[in-house]
Structure 1
Amino acid sequence: VVADALSRRPDYAVHKADANAIGVARTSTPSSSLLDDVRSAYTKDADAKQLLDYFAAPSDKSRQKLAKHLRARVHRYRVHNGLLLYSAVDDNADRIVVPDDHELKLRITYEYHDAPTSGHQGREKTYLLLTRDFYWSHQYKWVRKYVRACEVCQRVKPAPFSQAPLQSLPTPSECWQSISMDFVFGLPPDNKRRTGIVVFVDRFSKMVHLAAVPAEVTAKQTARLFVDMVFRHHGMPID
């Protein structure tokens, strides 16, 4: 069995978050500073305070004091080095619980999306990278809103509609029945200071006629070149 390319990528691998050194290679913020801020923010979050109090002295009595939504999932939480860790239903990977702190969530999402080492991965990849290490409620909705508000992503993202397919031109049956014409500018100037060329191409034989033109070439001058270089030698093309 040969693994595909995605399964070989370490950033897609399922693993447990390292609570002591998280994302060092992927973020610009020192992990100790980030984790200290997470710990500090727990003191202002009601759910986090309940869980930390419970795990400090777990018992049936203290479990009953938990809010109902926490009591139903308390078996998925644990504490390590002062950090709350959460294990999702579909895997056993531990993720650091982020308290309900708007600025802290912005900072973490920035590190996984906007930082030079992250490279504006887009909604899905940002979500995958973020949820590998962190957890908070409605995380996907948060990431979707964040990426939608990202100026860089909106400027460079593909158009939301499909482009019309290119239509091929019919192949002519004889020389000089059908021609194409184009200009090329920005070339080194010749002795007459002309920096462009006009190109006439026979679509059947691929024969080419070229003429030097100034950057300010007019439609009248182009028509005169067409007469001198194409019509005079090959007659009037059909198209």
Structure 2
Amino acid sequence: MRRDRWLFVTLSLVLLALLLWRPETGWELRALLGSREEESRTADELYAQNIQLKAELAKLSVIESQLPAWSPEYIRASVLSRYPFGAKSELLLDIGERQGAEEGVAVAFQGVLLGKVQSVFDSTSVAQTVFDSRFEVAVRIGERGAEALFRGGDEPHLTLISKRAKVEPGDVVYSASPLFPYAIPLGEIEAVKLSEDQLFQEASMKFSYEIGAVRTVFVARQ
């Protein structure tokens, strides 16, 4: 204990003597400590910038992975949120009237019809998806082009398929509406059955995407 105290006193006296006989020593110590603080701040700043760059790269990677080849007939848009919160019937997009968005046009994801623009604001718009129960569109099925009506909802399905039409699981379902690009696909048939009144066939649908994972879409131009 006493030895430690004498060591501390001795070092203090030596440091005091240096400061008295060589004042520049104090400035050198300050410069040394200051440089270390500056190095620490620089390292923290570089670390923060690195995190920001990683986040930006991650965002760009997600966007790029969800985009097919760009077409001048479409406008790229990012999904800001889903309406109601966490639901899948409507999407809030980051493009609006300023960017050329218009009501009623198709909204596509990876080349598949995801829905249509429902309302347009100055710099945002709301897209109604195929999972909205109010969404309906005339479609055709498979190579034979059997006609049907696509009805949206939590479980989108096809109705009004002729009993004579040969349709089966795996057949592609594509738009036949003049409101959307002709033959843009919606998904595939999952299962086929007769309607309750036995007058038509009905079919459940399966899709190539999970609506909750959609981050970037294409909005058609008029």
Q: Is the TM-score greater than 0.5?
A: no
Larger helix share, 1 or 2? 1
TM-score by length of 2: 0.26
TM-score by length of 1: 0.25
Structure with the bigger RCO (C-alpha within 8 Å, sep 6+) is 2
